[in-house]
């Protein structure tokens, strides 16, 4: 059985979200488990369900780059 990697996409541009969802839909080992349009909602989402990878637009108005750079 192949393990799927759960992906969360955080971007306020619907076209970017849709494109990434379309890309990952064609890959068997990856599953987009959610899309968000605000950075402030990421923490609550990640706590509520398992996520292996967060694709985050660092240019969102409510995202402080320093916080995410510190987490990495």
pTM of the full structure:
0.85
Give the residue extent of every domain in the chain: 1-30+38-58
Burial (CB count <10 Å: 0-12, 13-18, 19+), residue 9: buried
Query: Which tens digits make up the pLDDT trace of 17-62?
Result: 999 999 999 999 999 999 999 988 988 999 999 999 999 998 888 8
């Amino acid at each position: 059985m192949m393990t799927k990697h759960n992906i969360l996409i955080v971007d306020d541009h619907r076209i970017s979200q849709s494109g990434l969802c379309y890309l990952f839909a064609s890959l068997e080992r990856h599953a987009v488990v959610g899309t968000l349009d605000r950075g402030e909602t990421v923490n609550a989402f990640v706590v509520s369900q398992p996520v292996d990878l967060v694709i985050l637009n660092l240019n969102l108005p409510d995202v402080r780059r320093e916080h995410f750079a510190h987490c990495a």
